[in-house]
A and B are shown apart, each in its own frame.
Chain A
Amino acid sequence: MNLIPTEEEALLQQSARKFLDDKASVKAFRKLRDEASTNGFDRGLWREMSEMGWAGVLVAEDSGGVGLGHRAAGVLAEEMGKTLVASPFLSSAVMAATALGTAASSESAALLPGISAGEIVVALAVDEGHKHDPAKTTLHAKPHGNGFRLNGEKSFVVDGHVADQLIVAARTSAPPTGLTLFLVDPKKKGVEIERTATVDGRNAARVRFDNVEANGDDIVGDIDGGWSILERALNAGRAALSAELTGVAAGAFGITNQYLKDRTQFGRPIGAFQALQHRAAHLYCEIEVTASAVANAGRELDRDPGAAAGAVSLAKARAIETARLAVSEGVQMHGGVGMTDEFDIGLYMKRARVGTEWLGDYAFHAERIAELRGF
């Protein structure tokens, strides 16, 4: 497996960077935040990104996508991370599209062209407590008449406040794997959505389900067969989020390294001090090492998505630690101004924190690796 970018990926990366610098700089994100956008993202921008094929990066061509694969999705996510782009890329284009594509039924396939076109947003409703742990899902779907009734509550449904459809993980048989995925229209009777503004200036939702009715056509995949589809979707999301976090780390590092050259104290640039040089150099190494794990996760998902869990967890664990180091060193090296809202480094710190918790924290992924390694 080759871990350096293919020619196609290099071109994708360059064109993405050019587009984002032009249309989706950190300044654009800051404006979005200051306007307290209730969408949490710029719909016009998302449409443009979709026109370039980004929303269909994981959707097969016969469903309206471009089908470039997970490594390509990672390339895009990393570039988006560098300038803190807010978009439903991870929720809708990566996770929902993977779930629906894996399920491969006509009902789920019907949504894929809309996702690829950026016309609809589909969000994944998985988490319940304050920690990501799909195996402990308690929201349940019980047979009722010819269909089911869903009862329970989901938390941290990213983009759930604007989603046109929700993919809901529901307990239908014994834990941990006895899950069924339901496609639920959030306008349905019994669905209550509470928008939650998050620390990074974006949005998620708490979603309550009170006797929400669903039928067989709403099932994504098979009854009790939701776990494997969910794992595929989550792993796709974790890999892309790892790439985004690596982009966040690289972005934070980029502005910090520039600050080290620009800021003068004691009559010289602070970057001339060895104490800071060594810390910056160490951070550079961590980012490089993480970038390898992220590239590998994308490649493994493209090769065999059913066997990539370890590679994905490695990428997420590494990306979490690297982003944490990058933003905390970033704020520290900026000194007092690093604490001000005016400087961008704080925005990176907040995004890194959200990416850390979303889809499993370090402990969650380290444990998956430990089990794989027989520790």
Chain B
Amino acid sequence: MARDDADAPGGRACSLERLGNQDGLSRVWGKRMSGELSAEDFRADIKNWLEANCPPAMRGPMRDEADICWGGRNWVYQSHEQRLWLERMAAKGWTAPTWPGAYGGGGLDRTEEKVLREELDAIAARSPLESFGLWMLGPALLQFGNEAQKQEHLPKIVRGEIRWCQGYSEPNAGSDLANVQTHAEDKGDHYLVNGQKVWTSYADKADWIFCLVRTDREAPKHRGISFILIDMTTPGVSTRPIKLISGKSPFCETFFDDVKVPKANLVGELNRGWDIAKYLLTHEREMIGGGARGLLGVRALGEVLANYASDEDGQIVDPMLRTDAKRAEIDTWAFMLTLERFKDQAKAGRGVGDASAMLKYYGTELNKRRYELMMTAAGTDGLEWEGERSNDGALAREWLRTKANSIEGGTSEVMLGIIAKRILELPGG
């Protein structure tokens, strides 16, 4: 059952665990600093720690989106284990393995992070925490934030205490994102924000929002945008969920009506918010294209095919489906290797850059294709929308949800345009 009160017995046990883990961490850290800890030792330490600390219920693939832990003030843990797993990982800083230890992160380098990921994968550990804070705001603050902002916000993201959402798109700023009109007026000691955001993921569940706002209406559109942080409990902030074709409402409209925002909440320079937005868009594309858990479907193609479309020997019966499955498998495997290749490239100190548009485009189109195949395999069973047998139409709802993959975070067409102009250097239209 869901638990969310801090005084539950599990809560105290967790605190004790955390103290123990801190000791473990400093022991490992001390050894690493003194050069005693070899790569094998490091892997062995991680393996042992995971074996002891990852609850069995937190191993194995997520069944559906409800298994994802998002954290935040209002989070209702799906299980005691979910809470335990988050707290233990957060105490290590391993919800944000590469962030500096000073801000609660794991302080791992890329090689160590890879070892951690591999060992997590080896026991099929679920991700302890997904959040826009981890994916987007954290990297932005590390790059552009001041010391006070890092100290204030990063540790809470690592621990899953504050859930962030992203205020980018507006009714008239979709693919043309730089056209944002939500206005932040300088009132001396604060900004007064008025306007509307749309497609804010989970705004109704989030505690804070990071926003692109217009701070100079006279400047060219890219030069009059700033990046600010707003507490969702501030008077004048309201949200309204948008019901999607999947029947779910992961997105909201967010309204700002005379919202007072302290000036300390401006990230980076005034009117230079577009630099941060661009940085984050690149980041977001890599993540979406990579099928980051939480944004893309969690379902494996092979599993659906085996359940629905195969004979006793496991061979897919329908020859057309089998052919399509082969093609999808080939392209998926090659795409996964491409993600690996770009990760290796990033690790070698060469960024992914504009190629992230490729990962985003290819990954999302591929995911849509895979879900089409799964729906074909499931046949009329895949049409069920309600009831326990279909887990309330989980497959159908996921299939519909994938249609947004190639729209959100920059449409496929925008991605192709970026590739054409920035990589292929084709002339402007």
Give CA–CA (A274, B331) in the complex, Å.
25
Q: Cβ of A280: which chain B residues have Cβ within 8 Å of it?
A: 420, 424, 426
Per the 8 Å Cβ criterion, residues 378-429 of B in contact with A are 413, 415-417, 419-421, 423-429
Among B329, B341, B423, the residue within 8 A (CB) of A373 is B329
Q: Are B426 and A295 in contact (CB under 8 A)?
A: no
Contact code string B312-340 (vs A, CB < 8 Å = 1, else 0): 00111000001101110111011101101
17 contacts between A and B (CB under 8 A): A3-B344, A4-B345, A261-B426, A272-B428, A273-B429, A278-B417, A281-B361, A281-B423, A288-B338, A290-B334, A292-B334, A292-B341, A318-B334, A366-B323, A375-B305, A375-B316, A375-B325
The answer to whether the Cβ of A236 comes within 8 Å of any Cβ in the partner chain is no
Interface SS, B side: helix
Give CA–CA (A278, B362) in the complex, Å.
13
Q: Cβ of A295: which chain B residues have Cβ within 8 Å of it?
A: 337, 341
Q: Are B419 and A285 in contact (CB under 8 A)?
A: yes
The answer to whether the Cβ of B247 comes within 8 Å of any Cβ in the partner chain is no
The answer to whether the Cβ of B28 comes within 8 Å of any Cβ in the partner chain is no
The answer to whether the Cβ of B358 comes within 8 Å of any Cβ in the partner chain is yes
Q: Are B426 and A260 in contact (CB under 8 A)?
A: yes
Interface SS, A side: helix
Q: Are B333 and A281 in contact (CB under 8 A)?
A: no
Q: How many residues of B contact A (CB 8 A)?
A: 42
The answer to whether the Cβ of A44 comes within 8 Å of any Cβ in the partner chain is no
A295 to chain B minimum Cβ distance, whole angstroms, is 7
Q: Cβ of A119: which chain B residues have Cβ within 8 Å of it?
A: none
Q: How many A-B residue pairs have CB under 8 A?
A: 119
The answer to whether the Cβ of B16 comes within 8 Å of any Cβ in the partner chain is no
Give CA–CA (A20, B191) in the complex, Å.
62
Q: Which 7 A-B pairs have the closest CB atoms?
A: A277-B420, A281-B419, A3-B341, A292-B338, A271-B426, A281-B416, A292-B337
Known: A257-B426, A281-B420, A375-B322. A289 touches B348 (CB 8 A): no
Known: A318-B330, A370-B329, A374-B314. A4 touches B344 (CB 8 A): yes
- The residue of chain B having its C-beta at the shortest distance from the C-beta of A314 within the complex is B333
Contact code string A257-274 (vs B, CB < 8 Å = 1, else 0): 100110000001101111
Residues of B within 8 A of A (CB): 302, 305-306, 314-316, 322-323, 325-327, 329-331, 333-335, 337-338, 340-341, 344-345, 348, 355, 358, 361-362, 413, 415-417, 419-421, 423-429
Known: A274-B429, A289-B338, A374-B302. A366 touches B327 (CB 8 A): yes
A64 to chain B minimum Cβ distance, whole angstroms, is 33
Q: Are B335 and A314 in contact (CB under 8 A)?
A: no
Q: Cβ of B348: which chain A residues have Cβ within 8 Å of it?
A: 4
Q: Cβ of B415: which chain A residues have Cβ within 8 Å of it?
A: 281
Give CA–CA (A373, B316) in the complex, Å.
11
A364 to chain B minimum Cβ distance, whole angstroms, is 11
Give CA–CA (A261, B428) in the complex, Å.
11
B288 to chain A minimum Cβ distance, whole angstroms, is 15
Q: Cβ of A277: which chain B residues have Cβ within 8 Å of it?
A: 416-417, 420-421, 424, 426
Q: Cβ of B315: which chain A residues have Cβ within 8 Å of it?
A: 375
Q: Cβ of A292: which chain B residues have Cβ within 8 Å of it?
A: 334-335, 337-338, 340-341
